[in-house]
Amino acid sequence: MIEVRNLAKHFGRFSALRNLNLTVSDGDFISLFGKNGAGKTTLLRILAGLSRPSSGELYIKPSRQAPSRFIRGRIGYLSHDTSLYMDLTALENLRFYARLMDVPANAPALSERMKQVGLSGRERDPVRSFSRGMQQRLAIARAFLHDPDILLLDEPFTGLDSSGGDFFKDYLASARAGGKTCIMAIHDFRLGYEIADRLVVINGGTIALDIPKSSLNYEQFHEKLKHLLA
Amino acid sequence: MIEVRNLAKHFGRFSALRNLNLTVSDGDFISLFGKNGAGKTTLLRILAGLSRPSSGELYIKPSRQAPSRFIRGRIGYLSHDTSLYMDLTALENLRFYARLMDVPANAPALSERMKQVGLSGRERDPVRSFSRGMQQRLAIARAFLHDPDILLLDEPFTGLDSSGGDFFKDYLASARAGGKTCIMAIHDFRLGYEIADRLVVINGGTIALDIPKSSLNYEQFHEKLKHLLA
Amino acid sequence: MYKIWAIFRKDLIIEFRTKDSLTSMLFFGIVVLVIFNFALGSLHETIRSAVPGVLWVAFTFSGTLGLNRLFAAEKENGCLQGLLMIPADRGAIYLGKMLASFIFMLIAEAVIFIIGLVLFNLTVWAEIPYLLLVFVIGTLGFSAVGTLLSAIAVNTRLREVLLPLMLFPVILPILISAVEATDIILNAADYRALKLPLTIMTAFTILFGTISCLLFERVLEE
Amino acid sequence: MYKIWAIFRKDLIIEFRTKDSLTSMLFFGIVVLVIFNFALGSLHETIRSAVPGVLWVAFTFSGTLGLNRLFAAEKENGCLQGLLMIPADRGAIYLGKMLASFIFMLIAEAVIFIIGLVLFNLTVWAEIPYLLLVFVIGTLGFSAVGTLLSAIAVNTRLREVLLPLMLFPVILPILISAVEATDIILNAADYRALKLPLTIMTAFTILFGTISCLLFERVLEE
Amino acid sequence: MSEKSQPRMDIVLGLILFVGMPVALYMALIGAPTEKTMGDLQRIFYFHVPAAITGLTAFALNFVASLMYLLRKNRWWDSLALGSAELGILFFGMVLITGPIWAKPVWLVWWTWSPRLTASFILCLLYAAYLLIRKSFEDPDRKAVIAAVFGVIAFIDAPLVWFSIRWWRDIHPSPMLETGGLAPSMRPALGICVAAFLILFLYLLRRRFYLETMRNKVEWMMRRIDEV
Ligand code: HEM
Ligand SMILES: Nc1ncnc2c1ncn2[C@@H]1O[C@H](COP(=O)(O)OP(=O)(O)OP(=O)(O)O)[C@@H](O)[C@H]1O
Ligand SMILES: Nc1ncnc2c1ncn2[C@@H]1O[C@H](COP(=O)(O)OP(=O)(O)OP(=O)(O)O)[C@@H](O)[C@H]1O
Ligand SMILES: [Mg+2]
Ligand SMILES: [Mg+2]
């Protein structure tokens, strides 16, 4: 369970987040919508323990504080950046992170991962030579190497082609079936609605809407969101 | 008019493009589809004169060679990168490029541009503090400062929220009405179909499909594309 | 012409905001001085004859650093790509960048020189115009070649290695003449001997400047 | 433990592939030597007493460069962020990075030293074990603090300035002791005098190693 | 707002300074006896030494505050560390200015790399770096942590710098205060000057503290304004 109480994050005189309250139960699949600059990335970074809130409380079960070493192993964070080493090959990148995440780092297991994200055959190419979508695929493989319980996704579909998008939707569906928790920042209304079972809108740094998907059908939701983000 | 004949681009033993032929008339609005790593970015970079083809001919009216100084002033290229200076403010970035592009660089004109892309009020913040979508908006403002005749767009909707997307669709519609030429790499079938009047699919580094939009309705096109990119 | 100015101004604003290049140029330069001073601590009487060399080592180091940064900044978000798309002669980019590196270097040199005076206990009021001449010509030559070479280096993977590797051998004639000239000014009184090194420096600077300006177009392009 | 190794190995592979840090470390080091040699050309008889200082200037320069690069590489694609998310003690990151910088520096120092021998016409077969001891301890201390400080510097805008600015004053005691020790080995025969500088170096290294390891967790975090 | 801009303590300190500074000046420039060999030149002593003492006190305070911040995570300690570092540089800057002014006529050079001078210089550099670090972080919490870490290292480093350069012969006189070599007639003047400098330090520190709290408050208010 994740609980956020009265969270605020200031950059100088600018408040990116303020007065933000959010409770996420285990197994929740949340789509996070919001205008450009609404504070989605800021929130996800705080949840991932990469940024310190200016004030407020953050509580991730079972520890009552910023994610500790134990919590870190349960979180998978896919950010705007790929966190890949450009001068290592795809396989070397995965092997490195696998070692650090206490996951089997043998070549067959990792090749299997590469295959899942549709990069088989490119294992030995340096990441620098990958196209944008290929880098995003590898970043996905990397971020979820350790099969985390909590997925924090920041516009994960960026740069993916249709088959990559399909793969990732499947991945999320199976994660959901496996009882994982997920918070995903996304701009595509339809896709976000489709994947999530809870819809959260952040506006002006605070939660403007937080409803279960079942309470609105897509058209109603679309109307409401258009209105909120106008 | 742009004409590409027998274009090939090799990176070492790997061919990103080969045997590629494409003729673009003035006023064509092309959506370029293709799998991750198909060669869309490579093609756009070559058209922009940023990368030299390994073989083949490139002809951009009226000069029969790589874009010269004159041609450069007519091309607007929006790449994966934003080409923004992180340590300058938004306004300073625009002013700098406006000067170099022989466009009026006075503050009101540039503020107007900022307003168009929905960034008014943030003119004096350094780009480093912008969120991803805000950077993309500014990149759009920058790339089209000089009102180019030929638009080369590489996944321009990346990171934009719904209102940003709407704005950019409007911009493209008015560009189309103004007789501009446009080639846009895009992954979203629906959006790409909607905007373009000509649909091009690149696969394995060569043109796999090149049809006017009028020849297929969206469902047919979707079917066909799914099949091509499977 | 005003495009050159725009490019120069932009580098100036960035520098003013981050103080990145200048501080690191200064810092490295001063460190060279201080550590030289330490290393030569026991040879106090001979120090004056080493000063010209030491100064130019410091200048060269800090200049190389500055050049590297000036082009690295263009790489961060594909900004160089943005520059390449502008409808202007690429010579303008060259001249703008060269101007920026020249000015930054001169500022750094002035500060390093003053600190050098204090550290080495020199008084040189009368010699300042001559020194200024030597510094300006030497720096001009340095940034003329340096700008071209760092434009080449920035597109390679081994950027930070390649620049000094290419630059130092090429710049050597200018460097030697500059040390020579500085030595004459500081330690010998016979200013007529200045003519040879100054001529060499000027010739090289003009030569390098012309060639670099012509070749720059070819070099910039990824 | 094997995580430390994994981080070290990764830096090694990247280095092996790009040859980035080592080449530039070597290059700067060698350039320091060459230009020193050049600057001191006229003082050949006194050169031997300047060698220790010159060597350590070269080491310090190349080391600072290496440290900067080692952490800058982590910044490129938000890799540091990836590292921060791993379920491991952050001490492991510290030790892995420290090991990498230590090894790189030692390699660079070895090469620089050999070139120094050739340039300055020294023969030092008998002294090599002692020199090795001094180099290893000095470098250990350098990379112990250096790793902490470059982890601080890498998150700032003024990265490349801040590292030397923080590092040089902090490292000075070790540097001075190392120069002193090297001087004793090369120029005085009385090895008993080595005790003081070596003690200082060792104390410093242990002290800063411990403190850095303890404080590292606090520092890494964006 | 309930706070007065001049808390009573500051007024008291200000008054003491108002009286004390002229007294100290008088003692230093007129009251104290003229030294035999150096003459009036020696009167720099009454600025040089108190400034050095005050500066070192400030750096020590910075160390304590940094350590406390790392242990307690209380922003109060961070403000204290900041204030004492800035003032430390100020006072030590005075040492570095009065020292060379004195040295030029006495030693005939502005500067030499003698142990104490080198150590003083390095100390100043360290705290300049400290301030630079503070400037280059934007997130206040991050800034405080990093600065505290560096504050600890800097102060631990200081004695090391001190000892490691001991084996050079030092042109700078060894502290006669410790060896008791100071002429008794000079003691009162020195004492008063030291006291005046320390009080000045305390006063400035409190004002700096006040400024910092005001800044935080203004920032907070600006945010409130933005929110409305
Ligand atoms: C930690 C820093 C320093 C302390 C505690 C300190 C303290 C003192 C003291 C106590 C004296 C008086 C000695 C005496 O005459 O009995 C003195 C003298 C002097 N100090 Fe400093 N000082 C410091 C730094 C400096 C610096 C940085 C300079 C710069 C050049 C300097 C230059 C001088 C000079 C020129 C004298 C007079 C020497 C003479 O009488 O021949 N001091 N200092
Ligand atoms: N380091 C920073 N310094 C100053 N302001 C910042 C910083 N990081 C973020 N901001 C500001 O905080 C706000 C929220 O940014 P954030 O990146 O969280 O937005 P976002 O919701 O992810 O937007 P997008 O959809 O564009 O990715 C923005 O207005 C941004 O300008
Ligand atoms: N510098 C390079 N060195 C080696 N290979 C490269 C280089 N740049 C691109 N490639 C390869 O060329 C192919 C085409 O890349 P390109 O970036 O054009 O793809 P794309 O169609 O834009 O893909 P995406 O949809 O993922 O952006 C890819 O397989 C890529 O690995
Ligand atoms: Mg975001
Ligand atoms: Mg692409």
The tens digit of pLDDT for each residue in A171-201 reads 999 999 999 999 999 999 999 999 999 999 9
How close, in Å, is residue A210 to chain E by CA atoms?
21
Neighbours of ion ligand 4 (CB under 5 A): A 41; B 131-132
D6 against E12, higher pLDDT: D6
Q: Is A160 in the pocket of ligand 3 (CB under 6 A)?
A: no
pLDDT band at C131 (very low <50, low <70, confident <90, very high): very high
Q: Is the pLDDT of residue B55 over 90?
A: yes
Q: Where are the alpha helices (DSSP H) in chain A?
A: 40-47, 69-72, 90-100, 107-116, 132-143, 162-177, 189-195, 218-228
The tens digit of pLDDT for each residue in B130-167 reads 999 999 999 999 999 999 999 999 999 999 999 999 99
- Cβ neighbours for D83, distance < 8 A, ≥ 6 positions apart: A100, D7, D74, D93
Most informative mutation of B131, B138, B160 for ligand 2 (most atoms within 8 A of CB) = B131
pLDDT band at A68 (very low <50, low <70, confident <90, very high): low
Q: C158 vs D40: CB contact, 8 Å cut-off?
A: no
Q: What residues line ligand 1, using a CB cutoff of 6 Å? A: E 45, 48-49, 52, 95-96, 99-100, 102-103, 106, 111, 116-117, 120, 172-173, 175-177
- 3-state secondary structure at position D159: helix
pLDDT band at C7 (very low <50, low <70, confident <90, very high): very high
- Quick one: pLDDT at residue D163? 85
Q: Is the pLDDT of residue C118 over 60?
A: yes
* Average of per-residue pLDDT across A65-71: 62
Q: Is the pLDDT of residue D219 over 60?
A: yes
Of B103-112, C81-90, E113-122, the poorest mean pLDDT is in E113-122
Looking at chain A, the whole-number percentage of residues with pLDDT higher than 70 is: 97
* pTM given for the model: 0.89
Q: For ligand 2, atom 24, which residue shows the shortest CA distance?
A: A36
pLDDT band at B115 (very low <50, low <70, confident <90, very high): very high
- Quick one: pLDDT at residue B29? 95
- Quick one: pLDDT at residue E165? 54
pLDDT band at E171 (very low <50, low <70, confident <90, very high): low
Most informative mutation of B17, B40, B187 for ligand 3 (most atoms within 8 A of CB) = B40
| Chain C from 92 to 121: CB within 8 A of any E CB | 118-119, 121
Question: Nearest 5°: CA angle at E58, between E55 and E64?
Answer: 145
Output the CA B131–ligand 2 centroid distance in Å: 4
The tens digit of pLDDT for each residue in B3-20 reads 999 999 999 889 999 999
- Quick one: pLDDT at residue B62? 63
- Quick one: pLDDT at residue A173? 94
The tens digit of pLDDT for each residue in B65-84 reads 555 667 788 899 999 999 99
Q: Is the pLDDT of residue E170 over 80?
A: no
For chain C, the structural domain boundaries read 2-221
Domains, chain E: 6-227 (1.20.120)
Of A72-76, D12-16, D202-206, E5-9, the poorest mean pLDDT is in E5-9
- Quick one: pLDDT at residue C45? 57
Q: What residues line ligand 2, using a CB cutoff of 6 Å? A: A 11, 14, 16, 34, 36-42; B 129-134, 159, 161
Of D126-140, E8-22, E165-179, the poorest mean pLDDT is in E165-179
The tens digit of pLDDT for each residue in D28-86 reads 788 778 767 766 665 555 667 778 888 888 899 889 888 988 888 888 888 988 888 88
Does residue D57 sit at the A interface (CB-CB below 8 Å)? no
- Quick one: pLDDT at residue B63? 57
Given a contact cutoff of 8 angstroms between Cβ atoms, the answer to whether A15 and A168 are in contact is: no
Of B11-20, C179-188, E53-62, the poorest mean pLDDT is in C179-188
pLDDT band at B102 (very low <50, low <70, confident <90, very high): confident
Given a contact cutoff of 8 angstroms between Cβ atoms, the answer to whether B152 and B76 are in contact is: yes
In order, the DSSP letters of chain E are ----SS-HHHHHHHHHHHHHHHHHHHIIIIISPPBTTTBGGGGGHHHHHHHHHHHHHHHHHHHHHHHHHHHH--HHHHHHHHHHHHHHHHHHHHHHHHHHHHHHHHHSSS----HHHHHHHHHHHHHHHHHHHHHT--SHHHHHHHHHHHHHHHHHHHHHHHHHTTTS---SPP-HHHHT-S-GGGHHHHHHHHHHHHHHHHHHHHHHHHHHHHHHHHHHHHHHHHH-
ipTM for the complex?
Answer: 0.87
Longest dimension (CA), chain A: 51
- Quick one: pLDDT at residue B65? 54
Of A101-110, C183-192, E2-11, E13-22, the poorest mean pLDDT is in E2-11
Q: Mean pLDDT score of chain D, rounded to an integer?
A: 85
- Quick one: pLDDT at residue E178? 47
- 3-state secondary structure at position A145: coil
